[in-house]
Chain A
Amino acid sequence: MNSGVLLSESETDTSEVSGRQSELISGDESIKGKLEEFSAKLNELRLADGNSDGGDEEESLSPDTKSQREESSENSENVSRSTSRPPLTSSIVSSVEREQLKSQVKVKIRLQPIGAIPQIQPRVCQISAHQQFLALTRFLCKRLKRKHIHCYINNAFAPSLDQNIGDLWTQFKVNDELIVSYCETVAFG
C-alpha cells in the first residue's frame, strides 16, 4: 500500500514539501530534533474554527514561512495595483497572483480514524493546498506515534504520496472538506 510506506522517523527537516522524501530510514533521533519537528508540524496545521477569517494572504504557517511571507506582502501589493491597471496587463498580473495565492491557500481536511487508532483533535484541520499528500501522512505518523499509517480518501482509495493536496481537495471534497480516513492496517484493500 503506497500510503502505508515506512516513513522516515529521523527526519528533522521540516521542508518536506520540497521533494518526495520517503526514504526508509530507521535510527536514533534526538529528543530536541523530535520536539522541533513536532512543533513545526503543529504550526503547519491549525484549528479550522475562528482562524478562517484571519486572512490567508497575511498569515502563512507552512514550513517555508519566511519566503511565503515575502511573497504574500508582494502579493497584496499586486492585488491593489492590478485593480487599477488596463485589462491586458492585469490579466498577466492576475495569473502570477493566482500562482502566488495558490501557494498560500489552505484547505480543510477532516480526519477520521478507522478501527482502534485514536481520534486526532482537532478533527478538522487546515493545511496548505500546495503540499503533497506525504506531508499529511507524516504529520499523522508523528502525531499518533506510529511508524506506518494507511490513509484513504472518501473511504475509497489511497492516493499517491506525491499528489498535491489542493488538487485532491478540489476533486474529492465533500462540503468543502477533504475526508481522510486513517488506519493502522489495510482498511480498503
Chain B
Amino acid sequence: MEELRERVWHGSLNVEIMLSDSIVVPNTPLSEKCYHIVVLRESFLALYLPAIVRKLGNNVIVTYENPYKQWWFEYDGVPVPWEYPCGVLFDFLCNSSTTSTGKEDDQRLQMWKLKLCHGNKYPPGILPLVDGLRQVKDHWKHQWKQACFILNGSAKRIMSLSIPDFEAFWQSLISRHQPDYIKVREKLLTPNKTKHIPIRVWTADASFLQPSIPANSDTMTLFDVMTSMDIKLQENNRAIIQGIVICSDEDIINLYDLFASIDGFLYVVIK
C-alpha cells in the first residue's frame, strides 16, 4: 500500500518542450529551442515554467515580464490547461501506449511533446496565469477545499488547519516531501466516515464530469460508478487512472485512497 502510494508520488513523464514557431528567433539551432525534462505526474505544469523559461527564454522574439504571465503550453495545437495535475493531462491528451501493455513497444521511450507559446492574447480554453505561483497555490487550495467539502460535507477540516500545517502541505509539493504531504492529507480525511468521493471523469468525447458518489454504501466498484454515469467500459473504452488501465471491479474507495491526485480528486480518464 505504502509502496504503491510512493510510486504514484514519484511517477514521472518525459517531456519535450519546443519553442513555438511564432516566438522563436529565426535560425535558432534545435538544441537551443528544445528542452527535455522529466516532469512528475503529480505536479502542475506551471511549476516548471520558471525553469523552462530560464532555459529557452533567450531565444524568443517577444519580451516578457515574468516566467508565468502570458506563457502557455500546447499539445498538437491544443492549449494545455495548467490547473490539472500533469499526469492527468498526459493521460487525457496523449497517452496511447497503455494499449500495448506487455508488448515490445513499451520499451520505447514515450515522450510528451509540448510547444511553449507566448502571447498577449490567450487562446480559448486557457485560464490566464496572471499571478504566478500565488495563483497556482490559490487554485490548488480551493480544489482541496472543494474535495474536503465533498469528503466531509463541509470545508471545516481544511479551514481549521493551522497556517504552518497548510504551508507545510503546499511546500511538500514544491520540495516533493511525501511524508509531509501524507501527514496533512490525513488530517483532511475521516476514514470510515467519508460522505462522498471526490472524483472527476474525463470521457472520450472530452466532457468533464464530476459525479456525486456516496461513500457510505458497502462496496462501490468502478463499474458501479461508471454505470451510474451511463458509461460502458469495454475494449476501446477503458478507465485509466494514473496512467494505468483499471479493472472495473476495483473498489472505488480503495482507488481513491491509492490514486487520488494532489488536489484531492481522483481522476479517471476514459479512452
Stretch among B22-30, B207-215, B251-259 lining the A interface:
B207-215
Interface status of A95 (Cβ within 8 A of chain B): yes
Stretch among A58-66, A108-116, A155-163, A175-183 lining the B interface:
A155-163
Chain A residue at minimal CB-CB distance from B159: A156
Contact (Cβ within 8 A) A23 B128:
yes
Contact (Cβ within 8 A) B146 A157:
yes
Bound state CA distance, A54 and B125, in angstroms? 34
Interface status of B246 (Cβ within 8 A of chain A): no
Bound state CA distance, A154 and B212, in angstroms? 16
Kindly provide the distance from the CB of B30 to the nearest chain A CB, expressed in whole angstroms: 31
Contact (Cβ within 8 A) A167 B126:
no
Interface status of A79 (Cβ within 8 A of chain B): no
Contact (Cβ within 8 A) A2 B139:
yes
Contact (Cβ within 8 A) A159 B211:
no
Which B residues lie within 8 Å of A189 (CB)? 138
Number of chain A residues whose Cβ lies closer than 8 Å to a Cβ of chain B: 31
Chain B residue at minimal CB-CB distance from A132: B208
Which A residues lie within 8 Å of B60 (CB)? none
Kindly provide the distance from the CB of B135 to the nearest chain A CB, expressed in whole angstroms: 7
Of the residues A19, A24, A157, A170, contact of B130 by C-beta under 8 Å: A24
A136-172 with Cβ < 8 A to chain B? 153-154, 156-164, 167-168, 170-172
Number of chain B residues whose Cβ lies closer than 8 Å to a Cβ of chain A: 31
Which A residues lie within 8 Å of B210 (CB)? 163-164, 167-168, 171
Contact (Cβ within 8 A) B154 A156:
yes
Kindly provide the distance from the CB of A85 to the nearest chain B CB, expressed in whole angstroms: 18
Chain A residue at minimal CB-CB distance from B143: A160
A60-85 with Cβ < 8 A to chain B? none
Contact (Cβ within 8 A) B130 A167:
no
A20, A160, A168, A170 pick with most chain B CB within 10 angstroms: A160
Bound state CA distance, A124 and B155, in angstroms? 24
Contact (Cβ within 8 A) B128 A2:
no
Contact (Cβ within 8 A) B155 A157:
yes
Contact (Cβ within 8 A) A21 B124:
yes
A1-42 with Cβ < 8 A to chain B? 1-2, 5-6, 19-25
Which A residues lie within 8 Å of B218 (CB)? none
Contact (Cβ within 8 A) A156 B139:
no
Which A residues lie within 8 Å of B143 (CB)? 160
Nearest 4 CB-CB pairs, A to B?
A157-B145, A156-B155, A167-B210, A21-B124
Chain B interfacial positions (CB closer than 8 Å to A): 81, 83, 120-128, 130, 135, 138-139, 142-143, 145-146, 149-150, 154-155, 159, 196, 208-212, 230
Seed contacts A20-B124, A23-B128, A171-B196; 9 additional CB < 8 Å A-B pairs:
A2-B139, A6-B128, A20-B81, A24-B128, A153-B146, A157-B145, A159-B142, A160-B139, A163-B210
Chain A interfacial positions (CB closer than 8 Å to B): 1-2, 5-6, 19-25, 95, 98-99, 153-154, 156-164, 167-168, 170-172, 189
